[in-house]
Amino acid sequence: MNYFSNATEITIKHHFKPTDTSIPQTLNHILPLEKLNKLVIQCYDFSFEQIIKLIRFTSNLNTLKFILSSFYEIDSKLIKQNQTFQYVSNTNKIQNLDVRADCTLE
């Protein structure tokens, strides 16, 4: 059912409205997420948790770029305890990470 079976990169732009559970499933119907080596999310509507859920299915991801509306919305203690985050942290192959966000050095 993959319409773009040879795709290895995807960019998700501004007007994409993610829902909590359907992002990986929907995208996986369009292209095989396990083949992606570059993921760019240029959309403020993606939460950090949604990004983690998506990269769980991109086992060969080498480059990840994303924008967060704010780091203040991330509860680092809850993220560290999250099973999906733990899985992604231990299995990802990401070598290039570009994060853009509104934040202070505090």
pLDDT (tens digit, 9 = 90+) per residue, 38-97?
999 888 777 788 888 889 999 899 999 988 765 666 777 777 788 888 888 888 899 999
Give 33's DSSP letter.
G
- Going from N- to C-terminal start, the domains of the chain cover 9-101
- Single-letter residue type at 64: L
Q: Is it the case that residue 35 has pLDDT exceeding 90?
A: yes
Q: Would you call 93 helix, strand, or coil by DSSP?
A: coil
Token pair listed for 70: 């704010």
- The whole-number pLDDT of residue 37 equals 95
**pTM assigned to the model:** 0.81
Instruction: State the DSSP string of 45-77.
Output: T--HHHHHHHHTT-TT--EEEEEES-GGG--HH
- The whole-number pLDDT of residue 42 equals 85
Q: Would you call 96 helix, strand, or coil by DSSP?
A: strand
- The whole-number pLDDT of residue 29 equals 87
Q: Distance between CA 2 and CA 60 in Å, rounded?
A: 17
Q: Distance between CA 51 and CA 41 in Å, rounded?
A: 9
- The whole-number pLDDT of residue 18 equals 60
